[in-house]
């Protein structure tokens, strides 16, 4: 049985684990779906709340968690907060998975992933 060596620099892995953890609830994953569907314009908090029917205090908590892990970006527009998906961070996360699963250990075939993304 071959020995599997893990890279010694665990900082990026810890960062990615935190990002996955932030998306690890149904509500936060639904928020990410909405924001990706509304990309690049994003949505104001009231629209997210209306769509998902989440109490404002709970929604605020979820959005703050996603923001703290840099998965969403927020900007103030007058009295509204507009949230957008941070697609650069998501690409980085997907790149990490792709490199580990498809190039380093060949657990998945790249063409299968690209076919499922179409």
pLDDT at 96 over 90: no
Question: pTM to 2 decimals?
Answer: 0.81
Q: How confident is the model at residue 102 (pLDDT cuts 50, 70, 90)?
A: low
Using one digit for the tens of pLDDT, what is the confidence trace for 26-84? 999 999 999 999 999 999 999 999 999 999 999 999 999 999 999 999 999 999 999 99
The answer to whether position 94 is within a domain reads no
Q: How many domains does the chain have?
A: 1
Buried residues in 62-86 as b, exposed as e (16+ CB within 10 A): bbebbeebbbbbeeeeeeebbbbbb
The answer to whether position 96 is within a domain reads no
The answer to whether position 34 is within a domain reads yes
The answer to whether position 59 is within a domain reads yes
* DSSP strand pairing (72-77 vs 80-85): antiparallel
Calculate mean pLDDT across residues 6-25.
83
* DSSP strand pairing (72-77 vs 43-44): unpaired
The answer to whether position 5 is within a domain reads no
| Rg of the chain in Å (alpha carbons) | 17
Task: Give 118 or 20, the one with higher predicted confidence.
Answer: 20
- Per the CB < 8 A criterion, the answer to whether 94 and 23 are in contact is no
Give the span between the Cα atoms of 53 and 74, in whole angstroms.
20
pLDDT at 1 over 60: no
The answer to whether position 106 is within a domain reads no
What is the domain extent for residue 31?
11-86
Give the span between the Cα atoms of 81 and 43, in whole angstroms.
8
Calculate mean pLDDT across residues 12-37.
95
The answer to whether position 23 is within a domain reads yes
pLDDT averaged over every residue in the chain: 86
The answer to whether position 101 is within a domain reads no
pLDDT recorded at residue 12: 85
CATH code for the domain of 52: 1.10.10.10
């Amino acid at each position: 049985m071959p020995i599997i060596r893990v890279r010694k620099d665990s900082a990026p892995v810890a960062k990615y684990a935190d990002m996955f953890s932030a998306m690890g609830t149904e509500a936060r994953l639904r928020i990410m779906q909405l924001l990706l569907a509304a990309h690049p314009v994003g949505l104001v908090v009231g629209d997210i709340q209306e769509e998902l029917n989440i109490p404002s205090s709970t929604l605020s908590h979820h959005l703050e968690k996603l923001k703290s892990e840099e998965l969403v970006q927020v900007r103030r527009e007058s009295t509204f907060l507009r949230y957008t998906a941070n697609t650069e961070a998501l690409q980085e996360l997907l790149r990490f998975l792709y490199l580990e699963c498809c190039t380093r250990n060949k657990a998945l075939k790249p063409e299968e992933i690209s076919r499922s993304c179409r």
